[in-house]
Amino acid sequence: MEIRISGFGGQGIIMMGMVLGKAAAIYDNKFATLTQSFGPEARGGACSAQLVISETKVLYPYLTAPDILVAMSQEAYHKFEATLKENGFLLIEEDLVRPHVPRPDVRQFSIPATRIAEQLGNRMFANMVMLGFLCAITAVVPLAAISQALPGLVPDRLLDQNLKALTKGHELGQQKLSG
**What is the three-class DSSP state of 93?**
strand
What's the pLDDT score for residue 39?
66
What's the pLDDT score for residue 44?
65
Q: Return averaged pLDDT per consecutive 10 residues of the chain, 179 residues in all.
A: 94 96 98 86 76 96 95 95 96 95 92 97 96 98 97 95 98 93
Q: Which CATH class is domain 2-178?
A: alpha beta
Q: What angle do CA 41, 154, 159 make, to 5 degrees?
A: 135
What's the pLDDT score for residue 38?
73
The pTM is what?
0.94
What's the pLDDT score for residue 46?
78
